[in-house]
Structure 1
């Protein structure tokens, strides 16, 4: 099969489109003919070698942690999913990638909602998993107010919508050019940067209950001050979390608590309560450009790669 791979750590130039061995579905897995896969910061963190000490790769490596496509192999023990079904989901954790290819194996998935294109579904699973995991860890429940630092990105937009579906109020930081975008998602926008606490105060007269830092821009000290308790703040992007007593949330081996969010996301999508805003769509041969766009840090919504 054709696949986008790299054989060593480095910049986007190490990515190359080449032939690779086909994967096959094991017990409890399905294989899909990939139509689209999302790009996350973790993809270029891994490629650059930034995470080589905590998440070393085996080479050659195929990037892409989530995908949407059509099932063409069903592993032993799988029920409720058949060859020909359109699904979106996550590649096995041990592989830490593998979806930027003709075929990919999924270990967690849900059927595509009618409301989503393959491009939208291809960019959904990783962010849904992360958002669900974070909301569960924060014990986010109806009536709370959630502040999202970096609300206009892929994780931020999905977390905001899932939080609103739970009955939370959501305030999100973004550049002024993205305030209208957040407002359309039902998020109260606020400009990021120093002085955030003073800008948030009139927007949340009863205070901020919980915080997600999806930006990793060094604001954890102020976010902790806003809540008054580091246990009420989670980051997915700031590797300095421990110094502030803040939890760093990342995917772990084994069944993720975020997996349960996949079928729920599909139901919410068909009810008009969850969209996957797309920042840009690249062809597979343009994967290097997609990684560069993600690393630039200004994505409004999700960056997606399509597979021919």
Structure 2
């Protein structure tokens, strides 16, 4: 099969389009013929070695995390899927990758594709959907009427997270450029800050939660919009000691992450807020719940560009520029 393979760390120039054997599946896995693969920032960060200390992978490694396709084979212990089923899944933080003609997917990571979505649309969902779900439903336990700040509302995570927050009954604040104000409003954003004219902290007040999606000092600056008893859930770090414990890391790594997160935890506490780092996990059950919202058209995929399979590396380079409106998807099979 054809696949995009990372042979050594160093960046996108270390990714090669090559032939390799189809993956052999385990008893609890399904073999999926991949029709489309969604791209996420983690997919260009991993080749650079940015996650090597916390997420070691065995090289060579198939790049990519999200997929949608058709089940062609099932393991002996699989009960929820059969050959011919249309599925979508995130295989992030698992041995395989999605930028390939076939992928081995653990049964627990997959869900049936919503029938009203194309494979391209379905492939745009898994990581942003699961990240938003785990951040706002599990960690924040967001309640109707609460206010959540989701910066970068026109990006891949922002376009989904805004819609999910509205389904949870929240009031949503976001930032975007002038060109994308109408887009984020159409997704449900209540308070929109044009970051070219104002900063979030100049405009927004009395928020219950922040979803941290931007690198640099943006998260610290936005703490001033919080009210007492609020929550900060960051997707970009710094990782905290709880994350190290959850991954079974040694004492040294726990200490390192405690030190790395000490500043933001201290700053959050000054605003009577809690801080947590979220590292998304595959979860087919949650993806099935998200699929119901998609099937009922209560949430819609937002896709910027679809790249042909041979140009997947161009898609990753475009994603790295940070200019996409919604998700980028690679179409592997017509």
TM-score by length of 2: 0.84
Does residue 84 (structure 1) correspond to residue 84 (structure 2)? The answer is yes
Query: What corresponds to 2:111 in structure 1?
Result: 110
- Residue in 1 aligned with 2:263? 243
Residue by residue over 1:60-79, the C-alpha shift from the partner in whole angstroms, topping out at 9 and shown as x without a partner, is 11111110000011123322
Instruction: From 144, 155, 160, give the equivalent of 1:158.
Output: 160
Match status 1:71 vs 2:74: no
* 1:196-245 alpha-carbon deviations (Å, 9 max, x no partner): 222123xxxxx211110222242111222211469601111243654211
Alignment of 1:197 onto 2:201? yes
Match for residue 204 of structure 1? none
> 1:120 — aligned with what?
121
How far does residue 192 in structure 1 lie from its aligned partner after superposition? 3.2
Where does residue 62 of structure 1 map in the other structure?
62
**CA drift at 1:260:** 3.2
Contact 1:218/1:238, CA 8 A, preserved across alignment: no
Please name the residue that 1:268 is paired with.
Answer: 293
Deviations, residues 1-44 of structure 1 (Å, cap 9, x unaligned): 11111211123222211111211332332111000111111111
Unaligned runs of 5+ in 2: 239-259, 266-274
User: What is the Cα-based RMSD across aligned positions, in Å?
Assistant: 1.9
Structure 1 pair 230–31 and aligned structure 2 pair: CA distance change class (3 A): farther
Runs of 4 or more, structure 1, over 6 Å off, are none
Query: In the alignment, is residue 304 of structure 1 matched against residue 308 of structure 2?
Result: no
Aligned pairs for 1:200-215 within 5 A = 200-201=204-205, 207-215=206-214
Normalising by structure 1, we get a TM-score of 0.90
Confirm or deny: 8 A CA contact 1:6 1:62 kept in the other structure.
Answer: yes
Report if the CA contact (8 A) 1:24-1:73 is conserved: no
- DSSP-derived class of the 2:204 partner: helix
The one-character-per-residue Cα deviations of 1:280-305 (angstroms, maximum 9, x if unpaired) are 11112112111111111121100111
Paired residues, number: 298
Q: Distance in 1 between matches of 2:280 and 2:27?
A: 21
- 5+ residue gaps in structure 1? 202-206
| Distance in 2 separating the partners of 1:197 and 1:62 | 41
Secondary structure of 1:59's partner?
coil
Aligned to 2:139: 137
Do 2:91 and 2:98's aligned partners in 1 also have CA atoms closer than 8 Å? yes
| Bigger Cα displacement from structure 2, 223-232 vs 184-193 | 223-232
Q: Residues of 2 paired with 1:259 and 1:250: CA distance?
A: 16
Secondary structure in structure 2 of the residue aligned to 1:305: strand
